[in-house]
Amino acid sequence: MNALLLIGLALVVARSETNADVRFTDVTREAGIHFTHNSGRAGNKWLPETMGSGCAFFDANQDGWQDIFFVNGKDWTARGRRSLQALYLNRGNGRFVDATRDSGLDVELYGMGVAIGDFDNDGRDDLYLTALEGDRLYRNLGGGKFRDVTAAAGIRNANFGTSAAWVDYDRDGHLDLFVANYVEWTPKRDLWCSLDGATKSYCTPESYKGTSSKLYHNLGGGKFEDASARAGIADPHSKSLGIAVLDYNSDGWPDLFVANDTQPNKLYRNNRDGTFTEEGLSAGVAFGEDGVARGAMGVDAVDYDRSGRPHLLVGNFSYQMLGLYRNEGKGLFVDEAPRSTVGRASLLSLAFGVFFFDYNLDGYPDIFAANGHIDEEIGRVQPKVQFKQRPHLFRNLGKGSFREVTSATGDLSRAMVARGAAYGDYDRDGDLDILISNNHGPAYLFRNDRSNSNHWLSIRLSGVKSNRNGIGAVVRVESTGGRQWRAVHSGSSYCSQSDLSLTFGLGPDSEVKVLEIEWPSGQKDRFGPVAANQFVRIEEGKGIQINISQQ
């Protein structure tokens, strides 16, 4: 009997570690999405052609449903067509309508990245777009309409901007803006590089000079000032592609991790006086295990093992594997990827958009990586590396262990040339769906079709003294299965923006016993118990609204 019991338990464990209870279905066409990214490529193999672009989930028209935005490139010379950025509004029935025309976002730019945040605290999420011609700031006017306020705001960035993130780094209640800038490049400065010595290929960033990223301080009244030099983040040698906001030393102030391509990654500790100190080298996140700077792209941060500390995920070039930096505390990180499934499975991949999300709602954040090489001829010189690559989905098994389950996820396992990636619950069924932007190809929307019975709680914050989005707030939930926490953050992934709501997977737990929020203002709110499987909105210092349909 004991032997049979052990066998039965083993079978239960084996089943629990599969992915049969969750599949992702490509619903792009049936959802009414028909966006195709235009890199402008015409045989010259100019560097920006292979780097873009991003995408976003956000509620553009304040109706409670996640809408979609795609960043687009354009032709280098006129070909009789226009390539616009794209805004798709969610109808609430599984379908979207292309609302780009007359939205104010119907502009032709060589765009790269997008960040979402309510910079003027008016209750409507605004949009920041990085572009080669110069970045743009769009104020949300309501109803899916936007106005370009870049010049009036004092934003001036035309430095090959990539990812961006909204962050209230001085905790004054106004969202500031960090913009990751890449390299000094223009068509006239484009260099000739080759994989085989005979034909032109896309150059790696070693060939170009770096450029400083920007930190814009929000002065209020719709005005910003460039605080990069004063804050200590101006580094002309950086070649930045990703930005994650995290409080890695748990002092209540947002720090910045910047992923650099072939230059050391940066970890900026917030000094709580408007300045930062760079500690990437001493923290162990500047280089790979071999002491060499890697080709880092996208990045995210979360507490994936319930240690109480945020850890880092970094997408890297092929033959470098993903970086999975575990926060050991006291300012030190250790890369767990080389001795884990995460590292072994991602060795040949080139990862751009990466993020943590709890796709099966078991209470443990999983890992997603959107992959794709930069040169379609790579297979001729590196036969083991493909141009189109499958994404990676790693299931969190607990205790810091992951298992790759991509092949069991249905449509998500297809090969593509992915760049930007974001998550959000577009159909409001409680689980998180995936949006992917492909380089010079069609975008994809993958619906999470979950058959397990795990419970969840979706939380959207509304600041009063703090910024309206509650960016920087820490939310802690306690249920029978234990304690979890998340921080509301902009940025992460690559050139993309995920839903600013926080989704907590609760597994078999039917309620949250205690829900606590620590706001950037210092305000602390506490609620409970709260029943599972609900959308809740919490206003700072005031109360909780259950099962919201309007944001």
Write out the two tokens for 303: 């507490």
The model's pLDDT over 531-540, given as tens digits with 9 standing for 90+, comes to 999 999 999 9
The residues pairing with 300 across neighbouring beta strands, listed in sequence order, are 313
Q: What integer pLDDT is reported at residue 34 of this predicted model?
A: 98
- Cα gap 115→171, rounded to integer Å: 19
Confidence of residue 6 (pLDDT cuts 50, 70, 90): very low
365 near 304, Cβ under 8 Å? Answer: yes
> Is-contact 460 536, C-beta < 8 A?
yes
For the segment 160-219, what is each residue's pLDDT rounded down to a tens digit?
999 999 999 999 999 999 999 999 999 988 889 888 778 888 888 888 999 999 999 999
Write the DSSP symbol of residue 505: E
Reading phi first (left if > 0) and then psi (alpha if -120 to 50, else beta), residue 51 is in alpha
Residue, of 358 and 203, whose pLDDT is higher? 358
pLDDT for 20: 65
CA gap 91, 30 in Å, rounded: 13
Indicate the range of 69-83, 211-225, 313-327, 511-525 predicted with least confidence. 69-83
352 — pLDDT class (breaks 50, 70, 90): very high
Mean local confidence (pLDDT), 528-547: 93
> Mean of the pLDDT values across residues 220-245?
97
Per-residue pLDDT band at 290 (split at 50, 70, 90): confident
Give 551's pLDDT tier (boundaries 50, 70, 90).
very low
Q: Does the structure show a pLDDT above 50 at 8?
A: no
How many other CB atoms are found less than 10 A from the CB of residue 213?
29
Strands 455-462 and 534-539, bridge-based pairing: parallel
Confidence at residue 7, expressed as pLDDT on a 0 to 100 scale:
34
Query: What would the mean pLDDT of 221-242 be, rounded to a whole number?
Result: 97
| Backbone φ/ψ region at 212: left (φ over 0), alpha (ψ -120 to 50), beta | beta
Q: Give the pLDDT confidence of 38-87 residue by residue, as tens digits.
A: 999 988 999 999 999 999 999 999 999 999 999 999 999 988 789 999 99
User: Per-residue pLDDT averaged across 263-287, rounded?
Assistant: 98
> Within its chain, how far is the Cα of 453 from the centroid?
27
pLDDT above 90: residue 19: no
Quote the pLDDT of residue 163.
98
Residue 507 bridge partners (DSSP): 455
Q: Using an 8 Å Cβ cutoff, are 256 and 305 in contact?
A: no
Beta bridge partners of 246: 255
Give the separation between CA 165 and CA 142, rounded to whole angstroms.
Answer: 22
Mind listing the pLDDT tens digit for each residue in 128-168?
999 999 999 999 999 999 999 999 999 999 999 999 999 99
Q: What SS3 state is found at 479?
A: strand
Residue 37: partners with Cβ closer than 8 Å, 6 or more residues away: 52, 53, 70, 72, 73, 419, 437, 438, 439, 440, 441, 442, 443
pLDDT value for 196: 78
Query: How far apart, in Å, do the first and last CA atoms of the chain sit?
Result: 55
DSSP three-state, residue 341: helix
User: What whole-number distance in Å separates Cα of residue 494 and Cα of residue 422?
Assistant: 9
Cα separation of 539 and 469, whole Å?
10
pLDDT class of 550 with cuts at 50, 70, 90: very low
The closest alpha carbon to 90, from 25, 138, 32, 34, belongs to 32
CA atoms within 13 A on the CB side of 501: 29
Q: Which residue has the tokens 């499958």?
A: 390
With pLDDT > 90 as the criterion, what percentage of the chain qualifies? 88
User: To which residue do tokens 């102030």 refer?
Assistant: 253
The whole-angstrom separation of Cα 315 and Cα 317 is 7
Q: What is the pLDDT at residue 548?
A: 65
pLDDT of residue 486 exceeding 60: yes
Chain mean pLDDT for the chain: 94
Torsion of CA 499, 505, 509, 511, to 10 degrees: -20
pLDDT tens across 360-401, in order? Answer: 999 999 999 999 999 998 988 899 999 999 999 999 999 999
- The CA distance from 367 to 348, in Å, is 17
